[in-house]
Chains A and B, each alone.
Chain A
Amino acid sequence: MDIALSILTGFAVAGASYLMMSGSLIRFLLGLVIVSNAVNLIIFVSGRLTFAGAPFIDKAVGSLGVDAANPVPQALVLTAIVIGLGLFAFTLALALRAYSEMKTDNADEMRLAEPRKDQE
């Protein structure tokens, strides 16, 4: 299971890098979504994947059983997903605005902030 997920993560990062380096803003964003999900998988695998039970403490026992799953990576991934969603929403809006202001989604042609010497 760990190995399968690790390989999947590798493929996701490779695909995302390809998309992000294409120069188009929308492809960059799609790559960003894929890579942030790949990173969530990394955290998930880091916490060890097991077929254990839910990490609830039985009141009668008073302590965590031996077959409980690790809850920390789930909390981390959840935090990362929420933050990622917020940032992605902002980035999408920014990309839309950039497209309507500059009439291009190619990063190489966005030269308003850094004009070429001959166009200054």
Chain B
Amino acid sequence: MNLLLVPIILPLAATAICVALRRVSGLQRVVNFVAALGLAWTGWLLVTAVQEQGIQSVQLSGWAAPFGISLVADQLAATLIMLTGVVASMVVLFGFSDLTSGEEKHGHPIFVQALLTGVCGAFLAGDIFNLYVWFEVMLIASFGLLVVGGRKDQIDGAVKYVGLNLIATTAMLAGIGLLYGATGSLNMAALHLAVEGNMDQPGILAAASLLLFAFAAKSAMFPLYFWLPAAYHTPSHTTSALFAALLTKVGVYTLIRVFSLVFDVQHPLLQVLLVTSGVATLSLGIFGAMNENHARRVLAYLVMVSIGVMTLGIAAGTTAAIAGTILYLMQTLIVTAALFMIVGCVAHLAKTEKLDRMGGLWRSYPIMGAMFVLIMLGVAGIPPTSGFWPKVLLVSALAEAGRWELVLAVVVGSLATLYAVMRLFSAAFWQATKTRRRAKVDIFRFTPIFILTVLVVGFGLNGQGLIDTARLSSVSIIDPADYINQVLGERP
């Protein structure tokens, strides 16, 4: 079997197995964890394959592109699949303690694997309608994850999440329809050739706007972000961590993919939309994170800040800026999961998620405190953590491109992020409190946070590997000739 199919078939098979084992939660746990680890390993194999043999592609059922459905893995997709596997396995491990037995019995593991199927499918899709289908797979699984447990506030959050996301997918479908009408193709490589030089055609421009709307809603960009702070704090911490690490990032990934391969991001209309939306997302995220009293809602707003930063990188559109954005995407995947899990752990120890009622954890849990500080530095982009390198790459790329207004936004954004996470830290660890904390940090909560913290610091001290990967990915993003040749075959 082709290696490219494994990241889709593996979680799909695990979904089926978990359905069969739904009464045996012990075995379900094992399947869930092993499948996620297997995904990370498959991702690693894909990364090495791409490094050695160039971009990989497969035409499903042997129908030649552009008529059949293509799956394509370049450096970016392969690396993201690997990181998805790493983060998912850590989050699954965290869930062993964090999830209630009710949540596990009602299908949490099933939905996790279904979600991973959709995420990996979206990373590999080389056909824009196929991308839509993977988005729907991801969406229906995330609906399930969001309501599993069935508390009242979960239902309320889910209503808003479902509503906005359904509008976004409908817009995406309309955009795809218009694009097909204007070009007669759905394969992204073929679309690149058809759209090149025709960006000003009304049909194509309308399709670009609709797709931008859809991806903006998926990645929670202004003005389509309302669902994120409304929904992300309602389910279990495990689900929150998984959503925050993966879902919005898939939105950003498709933005990078579609708005470099298919559309020209330098078109004045797209520039105005992306830059305004990026700056607005960043600022609103900052204001929200500074004001909120609910720990996980602070984090939800911090996710928005990172989305804003990446949007600005995409808008700048130079090779160096895309490299910075990709590196940011990779590191934010890891660090967001770590942040959500450690805050989940803090909420478990403090028995509340309200900042003004937490406190006093430093004395009882100094190791947790130290890990929190490191993850916090990673989120804010301060050495010696992995967050530092993407900031350096991005800011220097923006300065090089002469986009000083964007440099200002990114720098202010990271300072404000630092303020917001320090506020979290001092509320949880330093604030004086009368209640004594006796709860224990169990192994399933501690291990994943510890491993991810080690990764965050490790990549901070030796980031060359990831930086090289990001640079390589950005080259094939900016000049998609290799991608197109691989999918459509060598052309004269």
Chain A interface (Cβ < 8 Å from any Cβ of B): 20, 25, 28, 32, 35-36, 39, 42-43, 45-48, 72-73, 76, 79-80, 83, 86-87, 90-91, 94-95, 97-98, 101-102, 107, 110-114, 120
The verdict on B166 contacting chain A, using a C-beta distance below 8 Å, is yes
Contacts of B129 in A (CB 8 A): 76, 79
Does B290 have its Cβ within 8 Å of any Cβ on chain A?
Answer: no
Q: How far is the CB of A26 from chain B (nearest CB, A)?
A: 12
B156-A113 in contact (CB<8A):
yes
CB within 8 A of A36: which of B150, B170, B186, B233? Answer: B170
Query: B270 near A: Cβ within 8 Å?
Result: no
A114 contacts B230, C-beta separation under 8 Å: yes
Cβ-based interface call for B309 (8 A): no
Q: How far is the CB of A30 from chain B (nearest CB, A)?
A: 13
Task: Tell me if A113 and B157 are in contact (CB < 8 A).
Answer: yes
B170 cross-chain contacts in A, Cβ below 8 A: 32, 35-36, 39
6 pairs from A and B in contact (CB 8 Å cutoff) = A35-B167, A46-B180, A76-B180, A94-B159, A112-B155, A114-B230
- B143 lies within 8 A of chain A by Cβ: yes
Which of B129, B143, B155, B180 neighbours the largest number of chain A CB atoms within 10 Å of its CB? B155
Q: List 9 additional A-B contacts (Cβ < 8 Å) besides A43-B173, A113-B231.
A: A47-B180, A48-B181, A72-B186, A94-B147, A94-B159, A98-B156, A102-B155, A111-B156, A114-B230
The residue on A at minimum CB distance from B130 is: A79
Most chain B CB within a 10 A radius of its CB, from A73, A97, A111 = A97
- Is B162 an interface residue, CB under 8 A from the partner? yes
Closest Cβ of chain A: how far from B295's Cβ, in Å?
Answer: 14
Mark interface residues in B228-244 (1 if CB within 8 Å of A CB, else 0). 01110110000000000
Q: Using Cβ atoms and an 8 Å threshold, which residues of chain B touch A47?
A: 180-181
Instruction: Judge whether A113 and B233 touch: CB under 8 Å.
Output: yes
With A39-B170, A83-B136 already in contact, the answer to whether A110 and B177 are too (CB < 8 A) is no
Tell me which residues across on chain A come within 8 A of B173, comparing CB atoms.
36, 39, 43, 80
Chain A contact residues: over half helix, strand or loop, or mixed? helix
Nearest neighbor of B183 in chain A, beta-carbon distance: A46
Which size class do B's interface residues fall under? 35 or more
| Residue B174 lies at the interface, judged by CB distance under 8 Å to chain A | yes
B152 adjacent to A25 (CB under 8 Å)? no
| CA gap between A87 and B158 in the complex, in Å | 13
Which residues, 191 to 231 on B, are CB-close (under 8 Å) to A?
A: 229-231
B155 pairs with A98, CB closer than 8 A: yes
The smallest C-beta distance from B135 to any residue of chain A, in angstroms, reads: 10
Nearest opposing residue in chain B for A110, CB measure: B156
Q: What 1/0 flags go to B152-187 for Cβ under 8 Å of A?
A: 111111111011001100100110111011100010
What per-residue 1/0 map shows which CB atoms of B128-150 lie under 8 Å from chain A? Answer: 01000100100110010001001
Known contacts A39-B173, A87-B139; decide if A110 and B159 are in contact (CB<8 Å). Answer: yes
Chain B residues positioned under 8 Å from A39 (CB to CB): 170, 173-174, 177
**Distance of A36 Cα from B136 Cα, bound (Å):** 14
Report the minimum CB–CB distance from B264 to chain A (whole Å): 21
Chain B residues positioned under 8 Å from A73 (CB to CB):
177, 180
CB distance from B205 to the nearest CB of A (A): 15
A60 CA to B162 CA, complexed, in Å: 51
Q: How far is the CB of A46 from chain B (nearest CB, A)?
A: 3
Does the CB pair A83–B180 fall under 8 Å? no
A72 CA to B180 CA, complexed, in Å: 10
Contact B163 A28 (CB under 8 A): yes
Cα A47 to Cα B186 with chains together (Å): 12
The answer on a CB contact under 8 Å between B159 and A25 is yes
Residue of B nearest to A93 (CB): B147
Picked from B162, B186, B233, B234, the residue with its CB within 8 Å of the CB of A94 is B162
When distances are taken between beta carbons in the complex, the residues of chain B under 8 Å from A86 are 140
What is the chain B residue whose CB lies nearest that of A16?
A: B170
**Chain B residues with CB below 8 A from A101, complex form:** 152, 155-156
| Docked CA distance A80–B169 (Å) | 10
Question: B46-79 toward A: CB 8 Å interface, digit per residue (1/0)?
Answer: 0000000000000000000000000000000000
Whether A87 lies near B231 (C-beta < 8 A) is no
The 6 closest A-B pairs by CB, nearest first: A46-B181, A43-B177, A112-B156, A113-B157, A42-B177, A112-B153
Q: Assess the B230–A45 pair: CB atoms within 8 A.
A: no
CA distance A72 to B130 in the complex (A): 13
Q: How far is the CA of A113 from the CA of B157 in the complex (A)?
A: 6
Q: B174 is contacted by which of A42, A97, A107 (Cβ under 8 Å)?
A: A42
Q: Which residues of A contact B178 (CB under 8 A)?
A: 42, 46
- Which residues of chain B are within 8 angstroms of A114 by Cβ–Cβ distance? 229-230
Q: In the complex, A113→B180 CA distance in Å?
A: 40
Can you name the residue of chain B whose Cβ is closest to the Cβ of A13?
Answer: B174
